[in-house]
Amino acid sequence: MEPQRMDKADFITALFLSIFGLAIVIVSLRMPDFRNLGANPYSAPGIVPAVLGAILSILGMVLLIRSISRKGYYLNFSFSGILFLFKQSSIKRLLIAAVLSLLYVALLGKIHYFILSFSYIFIFILAYEFNLKERILRQKSNFIIAFLEAFLIAGSIALVFQYLFLVRLP
Amino acid sequence: MLPGLTELGIQISQFLTARYIFDILWSTQLGIIVGMLPGLTATMGVALMTTLTYKFATDHAVLILICMYVGAIFGGSRTAILINIPGTPANAATTVDGNPLAKQGRAGEAMGIATTGSFLGSLFGMFMLAVFTPILGNAALKFLSFEYFWLTIFGIIICGTLTAPKDPLKGWISGFFGLFIAMIGMEGMHAYRRFTFGNIDLAGGIELLPAMIGVFGFSEILMVMKQPAINIVSSKVGKALPYPREILKYWGTIIRSGLIGTIIGAIPGVGEDIGAWVSYDFAKKASKHPEEFGKGSVEGLMAAETGNNAAVAGAIIPVLSLAIPGSAPAAVLLGAMLIHGIRPGPLLMIENPTFVYQVVAMVLLATCAMFILGLLLINVFVKILLIPRQRLMPVIFVLCVIGSYALSSRIFDIWVMAVFGLIGYAMKEMDYPVAPAVLGIILGDLLDQNLRRSLILTKGNITPFFSRPISMVLILLIFFTIASRIRYFQKLWAILLQKAKK
């Protein structure tokens, strides 16, 4: 990431960390200490998280001060800037991989494992290899390779885990 | 010493059966392939293999994981030399002199030097593992809760400092974030559910392996797919077996790099990449021809590869003696040992001493397999580099998913993997090292138990935390590690040095 964008990212992260750390301290201090049950007060569940929350908050504030000194608070958000970001090919490649993978995870257990895995691998490969500007018939080798790979991999993983490792598939 | 050597010999002989040799060969080769492929790391490979070997017998599972680990750290040198892209972060230093040698038409020679350096480094580390694990384990028997508390803090601080040298603040944030993650779930003293907000799945806490698979697997897949495609031109590799006189010429570099790699590997959470770079730097400073470094220096290449493979065995030393991992793959190895019922730590030498010798034997056999496979099958497996990443990455992700699920058959673990993958990706984009976070997840429980236990013992008095000798040493180490990164102290140190010289 470029230094200017990093300072902005650090500013936002530092704000989040400082507040997050404080929230951890508050939630930790509200935890019961079980003294009414005869427990030692120093065994209270909230002690260690409170200390960690305080340390995270302090580190977040140090980062915040540093990012402010580097003018990271000039966020300069604009709609056109965000649109430009999403038009970059690297972001598109990232989003395709992320969205397909998260969709796969979300549908696990709801669709048969083999069908879902086959579809995921098949669509993933074609998402990067299919050329919209070329005719579909000219790209049939891509379809065939994607189909074969998806079928073999999804099938073998399902069989190996179900019958060799005795894992009940999701 | 003799009983130890006898026990080692017995353990080696027990592994010399057809079944074990087959396992050693295929898992080491798979490790080399994983290491070779940019986007697949040693940690990812060991984590995936842990879930796949979950139902295996303990010795088989640990053997396969160690072979995968040793193979993967070495395997990255292939791509580092041929295409200037390290297969794993541990091989980044290998590109500096390995790729220039390949461009000079000496790819085979470079591969041979890298293989031999890795072999000798791994042997050196194995020797140190055998000698120092019992010593460190015995020393750790004197540790009380106070020392363990400071040890976990020191582990986080040193890991954060060394994995983020340009911005250690981010390394420390990452480490303490990991410690907090370990607080989620049912705590060990009162069975109170912390930070679960009524969610039953969270009551069991965040499992280490799905989190690691997410951070090192899914996030890496996203990073790889974000980058533009690399056009790899497969080139023929010539003779790889180096002449013994070429190796003996650099015996000083080999021993120095082996020692440095092992020591760096033993530092909690730091890892093989730092081991390689520090070994390389020291070799350059000590070399009679430092001007050759960066232009195809055989000595530089030897130093980098010896250092990174020595760090593998080095990272296993604290795993066995302290139950604290020396690197991310070692952290997975620790998790695998716990899953299989082994209790690493100071009591290991008392409860299960043969296991330490078994691990030494496993490292030795993995090293020998790496050497043989590394020299014999260079041309064959280089073709694997031609697989397009859009055909490889979805397969890796499907394995990440089923691997995360296989441990406890919970969809929740798959979501943990996915969420930590996104967190790991965001951390990498913002220059936060992920190794301290993972170390924090591992050490969190140790910190929690020992801090509370100490406070109970002392009835809230914190004086013993600062008065015990070993605690004082750890506190001083923590102080100097942090102070060395603060500009005020750096300037003060420079002024004091100047005055001392006058």
**Which chain B residues touch A31 with a CB distance below 8 Å?**
192, 194
- In the numeric block, the tokens 């080139």 are attached to B235
Say whether pLDDT at B150 is over 60. yes
Q: What per-residue confidence (pLDDT) applies to B314?
A: 93
Torsion sign over Cα B90, B75, B363, B338: positive
Instruction: List the 54-113 stretch of B: residues with Cβ below 8 A of A.
Output: 54-55
Cβ–Cβ below 8 Å for B452 and A48:
yes
Q: Which own/partner contact pairs does A102-107 have at CB distance under 8 Å and 24+ positions apart? A: A102/B418, A104/B397, A104/B401, A105/B401, A105/B414, A105/B415, A105/B418
Number of domains comprising chain B: 1
Nearest CB to B430: which of A13, A145, A167?
Answer: A13
Q: Which of A48, A161, A162 to probe by mutation at the B interface, max B CB count within 10 Å?
A: A48
Dist CA A1 CA B445 (whole Å): 34
Cβ–Cβ below 8 Å for B411 and A108:
yes
Nearest CB to B180: which of A13, A24, A47?
Answer: A24
Q: Which of A78-87, B171-180, B440-449 has the highest mean pLDDT?
A: B171-180
**Which chain A residues touch B404 with a CB distance below 8 Å?**
none
Nearest CB to A157: which of B172, B402, B455?
Answer: B402
Are B319 and B330 spatial neighbours (Cβ–Cβ below 8 Å)?
yes
Q: Would B41 be classed as within a structural domain?
A: yes
Instruction: List the 379-408 stretch of B: residues with Cβ below 8 A of A.
Output: 388, 390-391, 393-395, 397-399, 401-402, 405-406
Cβ–Cβ below 8 Å for B414 and A170:
yes
Poorest-pLDDT segment among A57-61, B153-157, B226-230, B345-349: B226-230
Q: Can you state the angle between helices B353-376 and B58-83, rounded to 10 degrees? A: 30
- Answer whether B221 touches A (CB < 8 Å): yes
ipTM: 0.92
Per-residue exposure over A98-114, b if at least 16 CB sit within 10 Å of its own CB, e if not:
bebbbebbeebeeeebb
Secondary structure element (H or E) that encloses residue B35, with its range: helix B18-36
* Distance (Å) from the alpha carbon of A136 to chain B's nearest alpha carbon: 19
The residue with greater pLDDT, B386 or B125, is B125
Are B454 and B149 spatial neighbours (Cβ–Cβ below 8 Å)?
yes
Cβ–Cβ below 8 Å for A170 and B390:
no
* Angstrom distances, CA of residue A136 to CA of A122, A130, A133, A149: 15, 8, 9, 19
- Answer whether B136 touches A (CB < 8 Å): no
Tens digits of per-residue pLDDT, B172-200? 999 999 999 999 999 988 899 999 998 99
Share of chain B above pLDDT 70, in %: 95
Closest to B100 (Cα-Cα) out of B297, B305, B378: B297
Q: Would B500 be classed as within a structural domain?
A: no
Question: Per-domain residue ranges for chain A?
Answer: 3-76, 86-164
Taking CA–CA distances from A11, the nearest residue in chain B reads B430
Q: Would B80 be classed as within a structural domain?
A: yes
- The pTM score is 0.85
Are B328 and B72 spatial neighbours (Cβ–Cβ below 8 Å)?
no
Q: Which own/partner contact pairs does A99-105 have at CB distance under 8 Å and 24+ positions apart? A: A100/A124, A100/A127, A100/B394, A101/B218, A101/B221, A101/B397, A101/B418, A102/B418, A104/B397, A104/B401, A105/B401, A105/B414, A105/B415, A105/B418
List all residues 6 or more positions away from B35 whose beta carbon is below 8 Å from its beta carbon. B42, B45, B71, B72, B73, B74, B75, B76, B77, B78, B87, B88, B91
Q: What per-residue confidence (pLDDT) applies to B2?
A: 67
Question: Confidence band (pLDDT; 50, 70, 90) for B461?
Answer: confident
* Distance (Å) from the alpha carbon of A25 to chain B's nearest alpha carbon: 11
Q: Would B399 be classed as within a structural domain?
A: yes
**Which chain B residues touch A166 with a CB distance below 8 Å?**
55
Alpha helices in B383-434 (DSSP H): 389-408, 411-429
The residue with greater pLDDT, B159 or B244, is B159
Mean pLDDT on B105-123: 89
Q: What per-residue confidence (pLDDT) applies to A95?
A: 92
Tens digits of per-residue pLDDT, B312-351? 999 999 999 988 888 889 988 998 898 888 888 888 888 8
Say whether pLDDT at B370 is over 70. yes
* Distance (Å) from the alpha carbon of B324 to chain A's nearest alpha carbon: 19
CA atoms in the 13 A half-sphere facing the CB of B497: 6
Q: What per-residue confidence (pLDDT) applies to B85?
A: 76
Q: Which of A2, A52, A55 to probe by mutation at the B interface, max B CB count within 10 Å?
A: A52
Residue-number span of the structural domain to which B128 is assigned:
2-230+239-467
The residue with greater pLDDT, B494 or B156, is B156
Q: Six-digit token pair at A95?
A: 């989003």
Dist CA A72 CA B303 (whole Å): 41
Dist CA A39 CA A37 (whole Å): 6
Say whether pLDDT at A22 is over 60. yes
Q: Would B267 be classed as within a structural domain?
A: yes
Q: What per-residue confidence (pLDDT) applies to B404?
A: 87
Dist CA B362 CA B319 (whole Å): 15
Tens digits of per-residue pLDDT, B312-321? 999 999 999 9
Q: What phi, psi does A108 have (nearest 5°)?
A: -60, 135
**Which chain B residues touch A17 with a CB distance below 8 Å?**
173
Cβ–Cβ below 8 Å for A170 and B456:
no
Q: What per-residue confidence (pLDDT) applies to B407?
A: 77
Q: Calculate the average pLDDT of chain A.
A: 88
What is the 8-class DSSP label of residue A139? Answer: G
Q: What per-residue confidence (pLDDT) applies to B239?
A: 60
Say whether pLDDT at B244 is over 80. no
Tens digits of per-residue pLDDT, B383-410? 766 778 888 889 989 988 988 888 788 9
Dist CA B90 CA B73 (whole Å): 6
Tens digits of per-residue pLDDT, B416-425? 999 999 999 9
Share of chain A above pLDDT 90, in %: 54
Q: B193 forms bridges with which residues in the sheet?
A: B186
Are A43 and B456 spatial neighbours (Cβ–Cβ below 8 Å)?
yes
- Answer whether B173 touches A (CB < 8 Å): yes
CA atoms in the 13 A half-sphere facing the CB of B364: 17
Q: What per-residue confidence (pLDDT) applies to B86?
A: 79
Mean pLDDT on B358-386: 84
The residue count of chain B comes to 502
- In the numeric block, the tokens 């005020």 are attached to B488
Q: What per-residue confidence (pLDDT) applies to A137?
A: 77
Q: Would B474 be classed as within a structural domain?
A: no
